[in-house]
Amino acid sequence: MADPLTIPAFLAMRLKQRRVECGFGIVGDYALRLFSDLFDEGFPIHVTEDEQGAAFAADAYARLRGLGVVAVTYGVGGLKVANAVAGAWAENVPLLVVSGAPGVKEAATDALLHHRIKNFDTQLRVFRDLTQAQAVLDNPATAADEIDRVITEVLSHQRPGYIEIPRDMVEVPIEPPRHGVRPHLPPVDEARLAAAVEDILEHLRGSESPVVHVGAMVWRRGLAADLIETATRAGILVATSSLAKGLFPERHPLALGVYMGAVSPEKVVERIEGASLILSLGVLNTDLTMGAFTARREEERLVEASDTEVTIGLRTYRNVPLWALLPAVAAAAEAEGLKPHHEESPYEPTFHPEPDTHLTVARVIAALDAHLDSRHGLIVDPGESLFASVDLSAPNWCLASAYYATMGYAVPAALGAGLAEPHLRPVVLVGDGAFAMTGLEVAAAAFHGVKPVIVVLDNGGYGTQRPMLDGPYNDIPALAPENLPAVIGTGRGWLARTEDELDAALQEAMETDDVAIVRAVVPQGDRSPALKRLTDALGRKV
């Protein structure tokens, strides 16, 4: 006789069907039985140093696998992940929160149980504002259907979801599901799709220098292959937004790199803003991704495709979603044999250190660029690391909190990325301020077999803020991250103050089969070329 179906058994089965092999989190007494039973079902919850770190790891896993899970206990655990879940909402990441909770019978007594806040549904009400769908699994007749409903909504909308499991429901037999997980894509109007494709082709036929500007929704909808096919068949140069950096391989001859308004190198800005036609695909037009709105894309030369519709000049084609448009344009471009003229320029970074020369942000980026290769995935933290990264080429994907901009994302994200795609070693670029927030998560990464290379850009505090307004609030306690391997009992660390020291450290770090932490010290007042370009542009604007 088969074992009765339970919430952990069903949840683990559904997650594994979506290629989710593990979650991240920290246990508590309201979630102890849940964690234990999930483990017995072959779905481990990997322990991190802090709940927020677990959520950042799950976020990175979701960006690469299509779904990620953070599991927590009630109150003290659930509310610690609220910030990371907010970031996942802002950046369209399918992150699922699974929270243990007081039992149904316990809540009915209205007792003052530990971790309780205001009412027993306070945590649920918080997550209603942060997630696409929510469920409290307090009914065995509907628990399986509620799990399927939440996962369906998470995948359909590419937004976070929330499932709360009372601890006295964990091992209660539940009814089988009636519907299943059925993600629904935005609807398509076939006639309008055909008209939009023909409209785009008409623009391409007479266009001498078209470019593609690709954003996060192309990634979220799994359209990278269609993008690459469209660009390579039609010979169109491709730039990405900062949220999609690396989606189109940045060392490909057709790659322009990141277009982020004035933040980007001048040659990228000139190529995009001077293009005869800009195909904007799934770009989130936010203040940060558009370089404080310094990006200039003239309407008459812009085709803008969102997740649900396409606007070409003054014409908008509703119910023409990105998932249907991009493959259709790829097929039409192939049939047309379109081949715009341009010069291909493959990028081959090199770095020649000047002996005994003190580091600058620009030279740190140049050195890191030269040492990255096809074995690596890149993760960058917000602030100077994010801005500076537009001047280096990611050989594969690049992950960043590039719109919500929550500091401390990158180091814990390395754990999730390393488990989601174990064939690529995570390389992290993080400022000293952000490292102080979540740098200890490198211990969790090592504990679970992920061995990132972490480059700490040490500019003595919150360097991105100083050009705006400086003061003692931008100063932070000094740390020596290169000594952390001795604390966690594994890995190696390097301190680099000069170009030759950094070059040697990166060479060794990339080859070592262990956690590697390189602290690159730059002058406090130094700025990346990208940040200088932005501040200069904003100064002219003012």
Does the structure show a pLDDT above 50 at 542? no
Residues 10-30: pLDDT tens digits? 999 999 999 999 999 999 999
In which element (H, E) is residue 97 found?
strand 95-101
Q: What is the layout of strands, in order, in the sheet containing 492-496? A: 398-400, 376-380, 425-431, 453-458, 516-521, 492-496
Radius of gyration, alpha carbons of the chain: 24
Q: Do the domains spanning 7-169 and 190-336 agree at the CATH topology level?
A: yes
CA angle 65, 68, 74 (to 5 degrees): 175
Burial class (CB in 10 A: 0-12, 13-18, 19+), 346: exposed
Q: What CATH number matches the domain at 361-538, 3.30.365.10, 3.40.50.970, 1.25.40.340, 3.90.79.10?
A: 3.40.50.970
pLDDT of residue 7: 98
Residues 360-380: pLDDT tens digits? 999 999 999 999 999 999 999
pTM of the model: 0.96
Q: What torsion do the CA atoms of 131, 401, 240, 456 make, to the nearest 10 degrees?
A: -160
Under the banding of pLDDT at 50, 70 and 90, the label for residue 120 is confident
pLDDT of residue 437: 96
Question: Average pLDDT for residues 108-132, to the nearest whole number?
Answer: 90
List Cβ neighbours of 519 (8 Å cut-off, separation of 6 or more): 432, 456, 458, 480, 481, 482, 493, 494, 495, 496
Does the structure show a pLDDT above 50 at 529? yes
CA separation for the pair 116, 111 (Å, rounded):
9
pLDDT of residue 229: 84
pLDDT of residue 539: 66
Query: What percentage of the chain reaches a pLDDT higher than 90?
Result: 79
pLDDT of residue 285: 93
> In this structure, which amino acid lies at residue 360?
T
Mean pLDDT of the chain: 93
How many other C-beta atoms are found inside a 10 Å radius of the C-beta of residue 3? 7
Coil, helix or strand at residue 307: coil
Residues 141-160: pLDDT tens digits? 999 999 999 999 999 999 99
Continuous H helices in 348-451: 361-371, 384-388, 410-420, 432-438, 441-447
The domain made up of 7-169 is a member of CATH 3.40.50.2000: no
Residues 201-236: pLDDT tens digits? 998 888 889 999 999 999 999 999 989 888 887 789
Does the structure show a pLDDT above 60 at 1? no
Distances, alpha carbon 165 to alpha carbons 9, 42, 69, in Å: 13, 19, 14
pLDDT of residue 430: 98
Strands 453-458 and 23-25: unpaired
Distances, alpha carbon 59 to alpha carbons 16, 67, 111, 158, 406, in Å: 17, 8, 34, 12, 12
CA separation for the pair 542, 527 (Å, rounded):
20
Residues 286-305: pLDDT tens digits? 998 998 898 988 888 999 99
Does the structure show a pLDDT above 90 at 113? no
Q: What is the 3-state secondary structure (H, E, C) of 134-150?
A: EEECCCCCCHHHHHHHH
Whether the Cβ atoms of residue 162 and residue 135 lie closer than 8 Å to each other = yes
pLDDT of residue 346: 62
In which element (H, E) is residue 318 found?
strand 315-318
Which CATH code fits 190-336? 3.40.50.1220
Domain locations in the chain as residue ranges = 7-169, 190-336, 361-538
Coil, helix or strand at residue 41: coil
Burial class (CB in 10 A: 0-12, 13-18, 19+), 273: middle
